[in-house]
A and B are shown apart, each in its own frame.
Chain A
């Protein structure tokens, strides 16, 4: 399950850190595992396209590699595309089978980014995303 790609992103995360002027910042956690992710996103002037993404966090290889890979994938995507991502896209991105027990780790970053955008556009009102209320 730990293909090279995941280990690589886990050991040398991409886009790790903070943006100078993020459009929005959002955090999430996976309470059962203690995984935490903070994503920062900078949108273009029209607030339609994602220009930059950074993340910080702590947790298992799946959760952290997923955030690292997602930070690369999101750059240049539209907010609309972001909202359309689902767990299958995340699993495809990771390129490995994710056991049912670990799916929450895998989708944490994706949910944080999506909820962050929803909060920014006034469509959601939460402080923190948790993977507990996942379906």
Chain B
């Protein structure tokens, strides 16, 4: 495994695994900078999907026949692969869901609705994604619990003094985004987990932007829950992960009921299957789960330390190049202290116009509120444009972004 000092990524070799990056629009090669929304899928993962459907597609845990056995083993082993990747103890702690959002809803329904009540508090941050913000807000409405938000300071960092103030013995859950998908801030989740545990609260880490881009170890953070999505880490859509500490998952009620999640059923009563299957009712996304394991193999072959180094270098380079425009506002911490994304606004140009013009240069960025509306309200901008990087992006692509932006400015000047 590499270290941060180790050799840079062989980006040209990596790009060869992603034929989609060879697409051109009217002769202009695609520059894909929307990776925080969804990453591209390498041939290795596509091949795993094709192999599944061509050679061993069948239902899991239900058949004694050969195909079902092959599919079941591959699907179960995918849980082991994920467990190893994030430093979980075992597959019992790894629940496959559809995405990060569903992972959060699972805990909100199975734990929140059952355990929370008036007087209980859930502590979030002002930079939470709607996936957690809206979910806990609604759980609070239904249970009488209160949601509190740790302030984000002017530089885009969490106000840790405020966190220490808000997290008290009334706190039952602290849920924090590890890397903000809007600000790029890398939050001190291990410190927050300590704080939460000091007050006997659970710590939920939203790893949607961190797990794909750096080594994340649930033991090091001491997270009680961690959620992330396969489609942001070279995997397919339709597969996400909820990690939960085994004793906590064990004590939780199921979230969805039906086949596969039961042990014994009579007309009157049912008992639940063991972990993690208790939380995977019905036929799961078998192929996608197996493909996620393949995506993890792909990323670990590169080395997560090197993925992180590459991300950080591109983010810093982009931050510096974008800072050359005097009429740009870049949101979040400085270039040398952020995850691999940069959200910004040109003074005179609405983010949607910016993104539309970038599209004419075949540069794909996201424009909008990035599912952080309250944070955008605080930033005083209804929307922003966001460039986000992954293993196959290059400095030359950042240069193309900057050139296209210069054009947008010109047009609107």
Contact = CB atoms under 8 A, between A and B. Distances in A.
Interface of A: 1-2, 7, 10-11, 32-35, 59-62, 99, 102, 105
Interface size classification for chain B: 10 to 19
4 A-B pairs with the lowest CB-CB distances in the bound complex, closest first? A34-B382, A60-B350, A60-B352, A61-B353
B412 A33 contact: no
B354 to A, nearest CB: 9
B370 to A, nearest CB: 11
B360 interface: yes
A6 B356 CA distance: 14
Contacts of B265: none
A105 B412 contact: no
Contacts of B369: 32, 34
Contacts of A99: 356
Given A11-B412, A32-B369, A59 B350 contact: yes
A33 B368 contact: yes
Contact of A1 (B360, B368, B382, B412): B360
Contacts of A33: 350, 352, 368, 382-383
B411 interface: yes
A1 B350 contact: no
Nearest to B376: A34
B356 to A, nearest CB: 6
B357 interface: yes
A105 B352 contact: yes
A102 B356 CA distance: 9
A102 B352 contact: yes
A7 B383 contact: no
A27 B351 CA distance: 22
A34 B384 CA distance: 11
Contacts of A11: 412
Contacts of A1: 356, 360
Given A10-B412, A61-B412, 8 more contacts: A1-B356, A2-B357, A32-B368, A32-B369, A34-B369, A34-B382, A59-B382, A60-B353
Contacts of A32: 368-369
A35 B356 CA distance: 16
Contact of A2 (B356, B368, B381, B382): B356
A7 B350 contact: no
14 contacts: A1-B356, A1-B360, A2-B353, A7-B411, A33-B352, A33-B368, A34-B382, A34-B383, A35-B382, A59-B382, A60-B353, A61-B349, A61-B353, A61-B412
Contacts of B357: 2
A102 B412 CA distance: 18
A31 to B, nearest CB: 8
Contacts of B360: 1
Contacts of A62: 352-353
